[in-house]
A and B are shown apart, each in its own frame.
Chain A
């Protein structure tokens, strides 16, 4: 049974209320827009790479608490990491959100495990993964992404997630 209380726990509510790295970024080297047309969630992610390292990152947008907290914690988690490490984390997060990651096995999820419960709420999975899709799109300089059609996590997760 879905454990909603576990999902809306303090850390998520806190990141929703006081999102980290929220705002715009001047001279960003990579940028993408993410959109979930079904619920109207809309966020943008901008970052600046120094060689292969994420030097600065910020996000902005209108979204539900799950999406906003996910974006806030994502930006905190990937800041200072290499692009390759961030891509690994993206795949692990997508796998976790769709219930395909063994949290007891080796992984880099850490505090992001607070989102594990979302896999029991099929209608909310997209909220949690939108920022991660958008970060992935930004790395690949895709101008915009969406949680629908071929990007729909319930049908075709990105990569091997």
Chain B
């Protein structure tokens, strides 16, 4: 089947799932070919969505169509294919702009992912504006990708890092956060949704407080954008970062949203082609945003694929997705809370569909290996959030993270899987 035939068999780029008004999880599942796989002879139960999500057929088709009929380098040649590829790439930028409600398309910078986006802000903003003795506020919940770049900056400049603690439920202590502010505070880095625990942080309130003190805020939205309706204007964040591959898109693509006035003041992160207006050995003039931050040939296909992914999600509706995932979370939490010997780590009142858990007497890696035997994919380990593990005094947890294409039967499979793990170790 070629790309055109593939599209003909599917009437709409938004997939079959969006065709009806009511949310029908089985119709959604039919859009995801990988969900037909069997692992160890059992149907795949994919509950590792916080690590990476799966790709629906319309996005796969879009990648194929781009690569089959539209590919050339962008922003360069005058030939037709280059113009088509450029137009599709910039169209993808506008789709991402609308998806997070950014005021302007030039505020959407394509990066290789969330880590790259945070590093861009560290180099472009941090190294220019944060000096010795200045303070950066982070939280205990942060992913290593929102800790390590700032530690590197602190080491280089002599800036200091302050850390917002959490309570036993995995919620940020907002009073403590507010107490950390002083005249040296320059930046807040906070994740919107915790990858390890699922806690949804009150970032809008935190941003308002920071702004009242003249402090900029970077929000790591990697775990929020796939599950919640995110509006960067409503949040009023200065920077917002996320990854394509957690959003039903390809790997190797992500987004940095930044307020235009800030992006313009920042220094470039990487030097090279596309990020310049003119180059001579005497003086190089940088390009305008967003191109100033997009040196070299970008992952064009991945950006266009991500554009198709947000079309797909928008057609279903992020509020519909959030509601279904909340049903999954509530059902799974209810079941697991009743299981003797199972402890849920992270019980925030406001939570996304992530359940970190431990099983008494069984190491998470043994849980993961045995669940895999039942076809169930969960993540085990420290989830790139070792400070969170230290806070709860566990070396690691098992983590089931849900997406809108998971169904209740898969929650039942997880519960049965945990029971069989307990039986093996009884």
Contact = CB atoms under 8 A, between A and B. Distances in A.
Contacts of B369: 4, 7-8, 121, 124
A64 B363 contact: yes
B425 A13 contact: yes
Given A1-B40, A66-B366, A121-B369, A8 B424 contact: yes
A13 B421 CA distance: 12
B372 A63 contact: no
A38 interface: yes
Given A5-B373, A39-B380, A40-B382, A62 B395 contact: yes
Contacts of B372: 4
A73 interface: no
B211 interface: no
Nearest to B363: A64
Contact of A4 (B364, B370, B381): B370
A65 interface: yes
B365 A8 contact: no
B366 A40 contact: no
A90 interface: no
Contacts of A66: 365-366
Contacts, number: 50
A127 B365 contact: yes
B37 to A, nearest CB: 14
Interface string B378-401: 001110000001000001100000
Interface residues of A, number: 23
B362 interface: yes
B362 A65 contact: yes
B362 A39 contact: no
Contacts of B370: 4, 8
Interface string A20-38: 0000000000000000001
Contact of A39 (B40, B373, B395, B424): B395
Contacts of A2: 40
Contact of B424 (A13, A40, A42, A124): A13
Interface in A104-134: 121, 123-124, 127
Contacts of A42: 395
B396 A65 contact: no
Given A8-B424, A13-B425, A64 B373 contact: no
A4 B373 contact: yes
A58 to B, nearest CB: 21
B380 to A, nearest CB: 7
B373 A65 contact: no
A157 B108 CA distance: 46
Interface in B106-163: none
A39 B370 CA distance: 16
Contacts of B382: 39-40
A20 B10 CA distance: 61
Contacts of B425: 13, 16-17, 65
A120 to B, nearest CB: 11
A5 B380 CA distance: 19
Contacts of B389: 40
B401 to A, nearest CB: 18
B349 to A, nearest CB: 29
A103 to B, nearest CB: 22
A39 B380 CA distance: 8
A62 B396 CA distance: 11
Contacts of A64: 363-366
A44 B426 CA distance: 26
Contacts of B395: 39-42, 62
A4 B376 CA distance: 14
A64 B359 CA distance: 12
B363 A63 contact: yes
B116 to A, nearest CB: 23
A144 B381 CA distance: 22
Contacts of A39: 363-365, 380-382, 395-396
A65 B381 contact: no
Interface string A37-60: 011111000000000000000000
B345 to A, nearest CB: 14
A40 B380 CA distance: 11
Interface in B332-373: 362-366, 369-370, 372-373
Contacts of B373: 4-5
Given A8-B369, A40-B395, 10 more contacts: A8-B366, A16-B425, A38-B381, A39-B382, A39-B396, A40-B396, A41-B395, A64-B363, A64-B365, A65-B366
8 contacts: A4-B40, A7-B369, A13-B424, A17-B425, A38-B381, A42-B395, A64-B363, A123-B365
Interface of B: 40, 362-366, 369-370, 372-373, 380-382, 389, 395-396, 424-425
Interface of A: 1-2, 4-5, 7-8, 13, 16-17, 38-42, 62-66, 121, 123-124, 127
Closest 3 A/B residue pairs (Cβ) = A40-B395, A64-B363, A64-B365
